[in-house]
Amino acid sequence: RRGTPESSDPASNDSPGEEEEEEEDAAAAAQQQQFGKKRDFVVEPTTITWHNITCVLLDKADKVSKVLLQSVNGEAKAGRLLAIMGPSGSGKTTFLNVLAGQLPASARLRINGSIMINGHPFSSMKHRLAYVRQEDLFFSQLTVRETLSLAAELQLPRTWKSKAKDRYVDELLYRLGLVTCADTAVGDAKTRGISGGEKKRLSIACELIASPSVVFADEPTTGLDAFQAEKVMETLRKLAQEGHTVVCSIHQPRGSIYSKFDDLVLLSSGALVYAGPAHDHALMHFAELGHTCPEHMNPAEYFADLISVDYSSSETEAATKEKIAGLVDAFAQKAAKLNHSFLYGANKAEEEMKVEIQPPQSVAIQRGSWWRQFRLLLRRAWMQVTRDKVTNKVRGNMALTSALIFGSIFWRMGHSQTSIQDRMGLLQVAAVNTAMAALTKTVNVFPTERLIVQREQAKGSYALTPYLVAKLVAEAPVSAAFPLMFGAILYPMARLHPTLGRFSAFSGIVMVEAFAASAMGLTVGAIAPSTEAALALGPSLMTVFIVFGGYYVNSENTPTIFRWIPEVSLIRWAFQALSVNEFKGLKFQGTNTFDLRDGDQVLERLSFGKSTVRGAITQEARIALFWYWLTYVLLKRNKPRYQALESPTAAVDPVN
């Protein structure tokens, strides 16, 4: 059952009567006052049980080189907050990823074991699981409310009226304590937005849209100050109290955070040291083994010290490893003796609940039509590009400054013989500057945007084509504005071919070139693993196209193997189009017989004699389309892949 406030039920919104609407509004207002006081969402109780989860890393000879998880058993229950704790490198994130079915695939990894959800195989629960990742990624210029509203538009069933969706979003804002920052932009490194804790709670809110029963959160307090960490954990505790099954990994929580946990899984070097209720049960378990937590000490700190290997000397290392091995054995024996039933102190009511639980229903997101997806994504892309004042200001300043600098250097070129070289130099500079500005802007932002899009696509929110088309349409006017501004200042300053038609063609050429460079930036951003890598790869690739841009080297003089490069160089076609546009019909003064008297002779020298502006722009447009197409293919192919869980029978013996 999708957890919605009653008044938000689509069925209740279908009748348009005014009276009913008023009643609805009154009900909604009354409900808003109650937010946070009672449980507004009904969540299907979900129990996850895992047995013998083993994860190993294989070497080149397919032998086990490292055991990441070793025979981990346990259970996460509805209405409880389970924390996975352990020292750094103990396997917390690996384990959480395995439980959520989102361990990145690797040929060197093997996972075995079984995970059941309400007694059913894990795979049938695809859309019921929410995974809040460590990094919070958003479109920086959208406000908190806009971010959530868009997610609601893309994920909630189409039968919902927009009023119902708005209420749903309002309720989420209340539940997650985001009301005060609802109309603040999310922000990024350039523009200050909401705080780190608010971002984390927004991530949780976005994950809750599809009304999942289970919420996984990977180190949700990392990078937050104590106050924000407390608020985030309080949010997760509330979700558990509302009936969600909440599982989070956490490094070393403060005492006040530890007190919020219901259950605990303690891992050390991938082995299970304890699984069961937090607090008294856990303290008693370790006390029985001779490790009593001092009265006023934070149990989380005590456990962390107890299960960490001390590498300060070989003796301490051996001693702590032996102690931990003893704790792992003791827990395994105790669990086996009690047939795991003591883990959570299963009581009768819970046993009864287990029987009542139905197989999970499929809640696959029903996407709207292509046009609807396009419209929504266009709005988002438009808001992102037009509101990003800092980036637009920098781009505008760069276009203005470089136009003024080059305009001053090539100030009012005449028609002497030496002006021929100056003109060629200026046209090459214009082509390179336009391409570089468009490329760097794109590679700076696209790798991060790609991750957001991949996450949204993994949820099935929309298809790739409406996203890409919407992005292109929204960004086109802004992307065109800067090269046009550059050209409009540079052209008269340098006194290039002074007719309106030639100026218009010049503007058109730099605009198409900017689109092609931006498209190339998208491809680079789609393959590079990070922004840093994209910023290294993009300009290097562009340098090759600059070298074969028609000015520095004549491709006929280069080895045959390189002769195709000018055909695909966006700099070459832009330079060629700019040259034809500039030199055709231009006369030069000359005194010697070997002087070039008109532009056609110059074009012959450049091997552009038979070329036309239209032909070169068409080639440039083809290159732009090629890069767009390649981006599409790469995004389609490079979906995140997750490691499959193999059955327990196929288990790899971690000892061998």
Q: Which of 215, 211, 214, 216 is closest to 156 using CA atoms?
A: 211
Residue range at the interface with ligand ATP (CB under 6 A); choices 81-89, 375-383, 522-530, 605-613 = 81-89
DSSP one-letter string for 301-316: HHHHHHTS--TTSHHH
CB of 99 to ligand ATP, least distance (A): 12
CA distances from 478 to 135, 369, 398, 490 (A): 29, 27, 14, 19
* Structural contact between residues 197 and 229, judged by C-beta atoms closer than 8 angstroms: yes
CB of 320 to ligand ATP, least distance (A): 17
Instruction: Pick the binder of ligand ATP from 46, 54, 73, 94 (CB under 6 A).
Output: 94
**Which one-letter amino acid corresponds to residue 375?**
R
Q: Does 308 bind ligand ATP (CB under 6 A)?
A: no
Q: Does 510 bind ligand ATP (CB under 6 A)?
A: no
d(CA 495, CA 565) in angstroms, rounded, equals 32
> What are the b/e assignments for 623-652, b being 16+ CB within 10 Å?
bbebbbebbbebbeeeeeeebebeeeeebb
Q: Does 92 bind ligand ATP (CB under 6 A)?
A: yes
Residue range at the interface with ligand ATP (CB under 6 A); choices 87-95, 348-356, 561-569, 632-640 = 87-95
Count of CA atoms in the C-beta half-sphere (13 A) of 623: 27
Work out the number of other CB atoms within 10 angstroms of the CB of residue 397.
10
Cβ closest to ligand ATP, residue 11 vs residue 655: 655
Those residues whose C-beta lies under 8 Å from the C-beta of residue 72, and which sit 6 or more positions away, are 50, 52, 53, 54, 95, 113, 265, 267, 270, 271, 272, 275
Cβ closest to ligand ATP, residue 103 vs residue 186: 103
Q: Does 309 bind ligand ATP (CB under 6 A)?
A: no
CB of 55 to ligand ATP, least distance (A): 8
Those residues whose C-beta lies under 8 Å from the C-beta of residue 358, and which sit 6 or more positions away, are 44, 118
Cβ closest to ligand ATP, residue 222 vs residue 386: 222
Instruction: Pick the binder of ligand ATP from 28, 43, 56, 68 (CB under 6 A).
Output: 68
Does an H or E element contain 542, and which? helix 531-547
Backbone angles phi, psi at 185, to 5 degrees: -65, 150
Cβ closest to ligand ATP, residue 57 vs residue 630: 57
d(CA 257, CA 226) in angstroms, rounded, equals 9
Cβ closest to ligand ATP, residue 28 vs residue 111: 111
Q: Does 458 bind ligand ATP (CB under 6 A)?
A: no
**Cα 649 to chain centroid, rounded:** 36
CB of 72 to ligand ATP, least distance (A): 12
Q: Does 591 bind ligand ATP (CB under 6 A)?
A: no
Token pair for 49: 């049980």
Q: Does 133 bind ligand ATP (CB under 6 A)?
A: no
Cβ closest to ligand ATP, residue 248 vs residue 623: 248
Cβ closest to ligand ATP, residue 106 vs residue 401: 106
Percent composition of the chain: helix, strand, coil (DSSP 3-state, to 5): 55, 10, 30
Instruction: Pick the binder of ligand ATP from 11, 37, 61, 88 (CB under 6 A).
Output: 88
Hey, which residues between 198 and 257 contact ligand ATP (CB under 6 A)? 251
CB of 186 to ligand ATP, least distance (A): 25
Backbone angles phi, psi at 216, to 5 degrees: -100, 140
DSSP one-letter string for 499-514: -HHHHHHHHHHHHHHH
Hey, which residues between 613 and 642 contact ligand ATP (CB under 6 A)? none
CB of 449 to ligand ATP, least distance (A): 25
Q: Does 99 bind ligand ATP (CB under 6 A)?
A: no
Instruction: Pick the binder of ligand ATP from 27, 109, 533, 544 (CB under 6 A).
Output: 109
CA distances from 126 to 123, 377, 562, 628 (A): 6, 24, 49, 31
Instruction: Pick the binder of ligand ATP from 14, 63, 105, 106 (CB under 6 A).
Output: 106
**Cα 50 to chain centroid, rounded:** 29
Work out the number of other CB atoms within 10 angstroms of the CB of residue 14.
11
Residue range at the interface with ligand ATP (CB under 6 A); choices 83-91, 139-147, 355-363, 376-384 = 83-91
CB of 268 to ligand ATP, least distance (A): 10
Cβ closest to ligand ATP, residue 31 vs residue 94: 94
Does an H or E element contain 131, and which? strand 129-132
Q: Does 593 bind ligand ATP (CB under 6 A)?
A: no
d(CA 620, CA 574) in angstroms, rounded, equals 7
What is the distance between the terminal CA atoms of the chain, rounded to a whole angstrom? 46
CB of 102 to ligand ATP, least distance (A): 13
Residue range at the interface with ligand ATP (CB under 6 A); choices 88-96, 227-235, 316-324, 373-381 = 88-96
Q: Does 86 bind ligand ATP (CB under 6 A)?
A: yes
CB of 249 to ligand ATP, least distance (A): 6
Q: Does 525 bind ligand ATP (CB under 6 A)?
A: no
How many residues sit in the footprint of ligand ATP (CB under 6 A)?
13
Cβ closest to ligand ATP, residue 109 vs residue 621: 109
Residue range at the interface with ligand ATP (CB under 6 A); choices 89-97, 110-118, 305-313, 327-335 = 89-97
Instruction: Quickly tell me which residue has 């449980």 as its tokens.
Output: 39
Residue range at the interface with ligand ATP (CB under 6 A); choices 72-80, 90-98, 154-162, 380-388 = 90-98
**Chain residues that interact with ligand ATP, rule: CB under 6 A:** 57, 68, 86, 88-94, 106, 109, 251
